[in-house]
Structure 1
Amino acid sequence: MKKYTKNIFAIGTIIISLTACDKQLDIEPKVSIDETKALATSQDVKITLTGAYDGISDSNVMGGGYSYINELLGDDAEVRFGGTFSTLDEIWRKSITTSNTVNSDTWRDSYVAINRVNNVLASLDKVDNNDKKSVEGESRFIRGLVYFELVQHFAKTWGDGDNNTNLGVPLILTPTRVVTTDDNKPRATVAQVYTQILDDLIKAEALLPATQAGSNTGFATRNAVTAILSRVYLMQGNYAAARDAANKVITSNAHSLASTFEGVFSDEAGQSENIFKIIVTDQDGINDMNTFFASSSNQGRGDIRVQAKHLALYEPDDVRGKFFEVVSRNTFSLKFADRYGDVPVVRLAEMYLTRAEANFRLGTTIGANPVSDINLLRTRAGAKVSNVLTLDNILKERKLELAFEGLQLFDLKRTKRSVGTKLFNDRALILPIPQREIDTNKELKQNDGY
């Protein structure tokens, strides 16, 4: 499948607009376009796939929503929410209502993206043979990624009780075009959702080529799939599979660490380290991490303010502890200072951290020994090298390196650590099924405590 530039979404919008204007007077009086016309050609299906990428770039999905929800819900006084949005304040205080619009919009927009993918997968017979594998692989990657976020946010974490009976999220795997009561699906179990996630990602990994043009863009590549697989395996406690997937990405040599920590968060200097990201341009896309984490001097709202408790975690020489700015006596992360900066989803540093943790837990040295992997990142950060490691050291290194990038809560949950006074499996750390969905779909059951 042909890869486009950073203006792909804007281009896709223009193409759709031009098509719509071609015969302005020849308009059929229909509310929706018949599917045989909407997805009649290979190009139609590819444009729909572009729409699926645009769907996950939504500010409520991978364009920031899942990440800031994760960081606010997993916070223990290391940040403070000082904004005026009561919806985000509820999340930060762990007192979310079932009518919270951020919560409900994240659910809705996630399923919108999934439905676009389902339309593509249902129309693969229309795709040119040369492109079919790539189109299917990219589609399955998107669906697997979104379901992974959904089940982590809206259900009990993997291993918290019986995965085969704990309720996950509805699995919708076919297109929804005209909504009827037949579309009211119950929640699949956590185990069933993870099975689908792995099925999509493993198939995507096999379908996408080992090397791919545009590998540093916001499009799925084999390494992007493998990196997310590593994250899924780590959440499941499958350390051997997590280690091997991370090692596969590292040893592919398709990516390299940015020379400086600051460079990671520049679209140009950080290109080599980002394995998958959400593209943002001045024409399309919103970086909601900038919106809420960045100061007003960097065109953000300055709502999420870093506290002394977090800053005290860094060693004096660690440049990561200096990657902040103080504006009006409030401290803000500089990771998202660029309003039009791309939103990182997974980067190479995480793969080194995963390989180190998994090797340490298993007593193995696949790819490298854990000390070497950790020191690689510490050296870049200007911190003193460490000759002796503990699991706590590795987990702290992961926390500092990936701070505010949307992994805080899930790392606490998978390692069964508390969030302040709340245990890892406290019901307040699980998002409620939106009341709007419960009212519409009588098959849905609400999470405990709501």
Structure 2
Amino acid sequence: MNNLKTLKYVLVAALMVGFTSCDSLLDDVEPSTSVSAEVVLTSEEGVDALRASMYSKIRENFGFTTEYFIGPSAFADETRNRPGSTRYQALTVATGTSGGTAHLNNWGLYEIIQDANLIIGAVEPSVFEDPATLDLYRGEALALRAFAMHTMVRVYGYEPGNFSVGPQANWNAGIVIRTEPVLDLSDADTRARSTVGEVYTQILNDLSDAKTLLAGENADNRYVTEAFVDALSA
């Protein structure tokens, strides 16, 4: 009986030490509700999480999946709603907010660009033991930054070569170009929209750099591949 009591006290003491240790670990989390950019960018695990965040913003968004692919057909009058269905009505008649410019604000396009910018310009090569890993990630980030910019400029600007047609004559505003990583609020600024031509130049430059970094990378289409870059370039 005494041995049982002794064992019980030992277990209680061990649990108390364990809980104290766990508590101290939780106290040391920096910060307690999130992880700073500096921490994310200085470890392989952090950069892997950043890469996952960039892809997740696309996969979780209806606008980048179904609507992205049916939108062009809808605007070309190649789709119709069956009787009683309203799910894609706004796309079918080219009105409303579904798939339109109002929903672009909710697509997280600049958030995707921010993740990409961090991978492209804020991760030191020494973070990875194999430099080829960072080259791969940067190639993916360049392609997805181009993809996000292309999505926005097609909606908020006119296609190149159409500036002298109709009421939009001589209006060639595109979108705000951001290619620098924002690590602090002081890094953000207000800037004017670039012209459509300037945006397309940036897109094509990103795709050219991405193709170099992703040369021969076509085995895993869960991620951006060289073929994806070629398709978007076309």
TM-score scaled by length of structure 1: 0.40
Displacement of 1:105 after TM fit? 3.7
> Which position in structure 1 is the counterpart of 2:209?
203
> Which position in structure 2 is the counterpart of 1:95?
95
Tell whether the 8 Å contact from 2:172 to 2:195 is kept in structure 1 after alignment.
yes
> Which position in structure 1 is the counterpart of 2:199?
193
> Which position in structure 2 is the counterpart of 1:356?
none
Cα distance in 2 between the residues matched to 1:223 and 1:77: 27
> Which position in structure 2 is the counterpart of 1:76?
77
Tell whether the 8 Å contact from 1:137 to 1:203 is kept in structure 2 after alignment.
yes
> Which position in structure 2 is the counterpart of 1:172?
178
Paired residue type of 1:207: L
Tell whether the 8 Å contact from 2:101 to 2:156 is kept in structure 1 after alignment.
no
> Which position in structure 1 is the counterpart of 2:219?
215
1:94 aligned counterpart, secondary structure: coil
Matched ranges for 1:340-359 at <5 A: none
Displacement of 1:23 after TM fit? 4.0
> Which position in structure 1 is the counterpart of 2:116?
117
Greater per-residue helix proportion: 2
1:9-54 alpha-carbon deviations (Å, 9 max, x no partner): xxxxxxxxxxxxx944434456653221121123322331222122
Unaligned runs of 5+ in 2: 1-23
Greater per-residue strand proportion: 1
- Within the candidate set 37, 42, 45, 1:35 is matched to 37
> Which position in structure 2 is the counterpart of 1:264?
none
Cα distance in 1 between the residues matched to 2:63 and 2:86: 21
Residues 92/120 of structure 1: CA separation in 2 closer, same or farther (3 Å cut): same
> Which position in structure 2 is the counterpart of 1:133?
135
> Which position in structure 2 is the counterpart of 1:150?
152
TM-score scaled by length of structure 2: 0.71
1:167-194 alpha-carbon deviations (Å, 9 max, x no partner): 1111121233555794333321110110
What is the count of residue pairs matched by the alignment? Answer: 203
Cα distance in 2 between the residues matched to 1:160 and 1:142: 26
- Within the candidate set 91, 104, 107, 1:106 is matched to 104
Residues 64/113 of structure 1: CA separation in 2 closer, same or farther (3 Å cut): farther
Unaligned runs of 5+ in 1: 1-21, 231-450
1:65 aligned counterpart, secondary structure: helix
Residues 122/223 of structure 1: CA separation in 2 closer, same or farther (3 Å cut): same
Residues 154/24 of structure 1: CA separation in 2 closer, same or farther (3 Å cut): same
2:105 aligned counterpart, secondary structure: helix
Residues 208/101 of structure 1: CA separation in 2 closer, same or farther (3 Å cut): closer
Over the aligned positions, Cα root-mean-square deviation in angstroms equals 3.2
2:141 aligned counterpart, secondary structure: helix
Residues 182/203 of structure 1: CA separation in 2 closer, same or farther (3 Å cut): closer
Residues 33/150 of structure 1: CA separation in 2 closer, same or farther (3 Å cut): same
1:139-172 alpha-carbon deviations (Å, 9 max, x no partner): 1111112211221122112210169950111112
Cα distance in 1 between the residues matched to 2:65 and 2:105: 14
Cα distance in 2 between the residues matched to 1:70 and 1:166: 22
Displacement of 1:96 after TM fit? 3.5
1:253-312 alpha-carbon deviations (Å, 9 max, x no partner): xxxxxxxxxxxxxxxxxxxxxxxxxxxxxxxxxxxxxxxxxxxxxxxxxxxxxxxxxxxx
Paired residue type of 2:225: T
Cα distance in 2 between the residues matched to 1:217 and 1:71: 24
Residues 58/111 of structure 1: CA separation in 2 closer, same or farther (3 Å cut): farther
1:43-76 alpha-carbon deviations (Å, 9 max, x no partner): 322331222122222324422232233333x142
Paired residue type of 1:158: P
Tell whether the 8 Å contact from 1:60 to 1:105 is kept in structure 2 after alignment.
no
Percentage identity across paired residues of the two chains: 22
